[in-house]
């Protein structure tokens, strides 16, 4: 808890294994720029904050579950990449040789959909727990007259 944007960016890069030395087919370059990963992290944060119940906005500094934010950002980066690959698909055929330069679009979208479903379910559950914790805390949440009764 309490990481910076740069730390989360590195976490997403490591989680997706987007490391230049491992990307033979990308000429040993990273697939995603830091700016793209940062955009995905910010989109994931906004998505989390928009999930009901609205119990206040989380920030990178106080996000309640680091691994959830990495999962949600990975979901976003895979969707962004899948959209780009779909838009730039070019199948080429000449003299009996066929080349599909972005044949992994379906795989990216399957990973993205799977990760998004799991991360969204986890985020909803976390938000409900956070809401219940705030309601039970006398300083926050919705108060009740029953809480002020002395028995």
Q: Other C-beta atoms within 10 Å of 117: how many?
A: 11
| The pLDDT value given to residue 8 | 95
* Angle of CA points 79, 81, 84, to nearest 5°: 110
Q: What is the pLDDT of residues 68-115, one digit of tens each?
A: 999 999 999 888 877 666 666 666 667 777 666 556 777 778 888 888
Whether the predicted pLDDT of 147 surpasses 60: no
For residue 92, report the phi and psi dihedrals to the nearest 5 degrees.
Answer: -125, 135
User: What span, in angstroms and rounded, lies between the C-alpha atoms of 118 and 68?
Assistant: 10
pLDDT tens track for 105-115: 777 788 888 88
**Per-residue pLDDT tens over the stretch 38-79:** 999 999 999 999 999 888 899 999 999 999 999 999 999 888
């Amino acid at each position: 808890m309490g990481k910076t944007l740069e730390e989360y960016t590195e976490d997403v890069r490591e989680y997706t294994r987007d490391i230049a030395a491992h990307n033979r087919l990308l000429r040993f370059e990273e697939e995603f720029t830091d700016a793209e990963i940062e955009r995905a992290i910010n989109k994931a944060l906004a998505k989390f904050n928009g999930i009901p119940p609205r119990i206040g906005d989380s920030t990178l500094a106080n996000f309640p579950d680091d691994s959830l934010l990495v999962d949600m950002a990975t979901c976003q980066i895979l969707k962004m990449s899948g959209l780009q690959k779909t838009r730039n698909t070019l199948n080429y055929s000449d003299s009996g040789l066929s080349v599909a330069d972005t044949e992994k679009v379906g795989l990216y979208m399957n990973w993205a959909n799977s990760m998004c479903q799991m991360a969204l379910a986890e985020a909803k559950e976390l938000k409900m727990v956070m809401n219940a914790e705030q309601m039970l805390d006398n300083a926050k949440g919705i108060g009740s007259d029953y809480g002020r009764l002395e028995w």
